[in-house]
């Protein structure tokens, strides 16, 4: 199998690449290396191959905004599957530079789709969308239950029948790519699948304050950096370990002819939730063995008090459910950060 991963040196991309290399597949990475520490992830993958990993690795330092180059890469490598992960990934940056956000997330995704469509034998494509396409969910009743919020009327979480209603340039740009990807299946017959992903976490995540929040809180704790909590810290997210996400990608690929054109909400679900600070804070204090000082700031635009994914469609059509519990997965991430603290200096 030949799999091309855009954004392949990022957190999800390098974990996905390692998975396919271990399976003996040929992995093609396309990444402009603009994100911090992506070169480190690329070096890690190259070391795996040099150490005798069964798979093959090809790397192209290119940008998805370069349509001509994308066409050349696809024609040269002829992948069976494209996993489109490359993108501008934060709400805050989209507010500061909405044009760049549009060009990367909308035009870039359009370029990937068109490059696929123009191939003599178009590969399948999985698109990494986001739960931010649903916006702030202001009309969904949320109640405070102890030190965390919960949905009053959605015990199983938010399903794919929820209308999209993005509330930031980032949400709009990812939603546009989401809709284009689905429509290219309906109009052109491409084998595309959309995953509206919840909070993904796991090893090799170089989290930042505005993206990858669990990893960022752990990194800040380990390195002694200041922590700011936006809102009241009782916001709740369903947490999906990167290994479970990769298993969902595999399940979609295995069923690509039957699920082409589908949209899936993919998250940890009700069993794997965590409040951003009221629960995470005590957990990290226990592992660090000390009190962690934090400051609080106003809510950020479009911040959901709760997001929990209803995974029943993925369970029904993909035969997929999360396997890694949040306590197990969070401890694994913590141990990786502690063991690699020099990477965060």
Active site residues: 170
CA gap 125, 180 in Å, rounded: 12
CA gap 13, 116 in Å, rounded: 19
Whether 20 and 8 have beta carbons less than 8 Å apart is answered as no
CA gap 104, 94 in Å, rounded: 10
Kind and range of the H or E element at 124?
A: strand 124-130
Question: Tokens 């790397």 sit at which residue?
Answer: 59
As separate numbers, helices (DSSP H) first and strands (DSSP E) second, the chain gives 13, 15
Question: Tokens 């997210």 sit at which residue?
Answer: 237
Shortest CA distance to 244 belongs to which of 142, 323, 344? 323
Query: What is the sign, positive or negative, of the torsion defined by CA atoms of 242, 245, 251, 256?
Result: negative
Q: What is the DSSP string of 199-247?
A: EEE-TT---BTTB-HHHHHHHHHHHT---EEES-S--EEEEEEHHHHHH
């Amino acid at each position: 199998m030949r799999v091309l991963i855009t954004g392949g040196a990022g957190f999800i991309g390098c974990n996905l690449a390692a998975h396919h290399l271990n399976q003996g597949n040929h992995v093609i990475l396309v990444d402009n290396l603009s994100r911090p520490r992506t070169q480190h992830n690329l070096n890690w993958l190259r070391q795996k191959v040099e150490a005798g990993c069964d798979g093959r690795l090809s790397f192209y330092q290119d940008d998805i905004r370069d349509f001509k180059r994308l066409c050349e890469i696809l024609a040269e490598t002829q992948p069976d599957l494209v996993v489109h992960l490359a993108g501008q990934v934060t709400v805050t940056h989209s507010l500061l530079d909405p044009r760049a956000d549009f060009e990367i997330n909308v035009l870039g995704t359009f370029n990937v789709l068109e490059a696929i469509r123009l191939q003599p034998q178009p590969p399948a494509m999985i698109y990494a969308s986001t739960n931010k396409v649903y916006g702030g969910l202001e009309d969904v009743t949320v109640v405070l239950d102890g030190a965390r919020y919960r949905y009053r009327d959605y015990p199983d979480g938010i399903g794919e029948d929820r209308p999209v209603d993005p509330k930031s340039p980032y949400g709009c740009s990812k939603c546009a790519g989401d809709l284009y990807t689905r429509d290219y299946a309906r109009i052109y017959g491409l084998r595309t699948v959309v995953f509206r992903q919840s909070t993904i976490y796991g090893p090799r995540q170089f989290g930042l304050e505005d993206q990858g929040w669990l990893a960022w809180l752990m990194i800040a704790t380990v390195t002694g950096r200041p922590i700011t909590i936006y809102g009241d810290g009782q916001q709740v997210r369903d947490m999906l370990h990167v290994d479970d996400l990769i298993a969902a990608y595999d399940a979609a690929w295995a069923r690509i002819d039957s699920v082409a054109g589908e949209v899936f909400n993919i998250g940890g679900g009700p069993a794997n939730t965590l409040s951003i600070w009221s629960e995470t804070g005590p957990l990290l204090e226990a592992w660090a063995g000390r009190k962690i000082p934090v400051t609080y700031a106003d809510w950020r635009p479009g911040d959901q008090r709760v997001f929990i994914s209803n995974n029943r469609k993925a369970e029904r059509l993909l035969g997929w459910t999360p396997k890694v519990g949040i306590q197990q997965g969070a401890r694994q991430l913590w141990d990786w950060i502690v063991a690699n603290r020099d990477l965060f200096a």
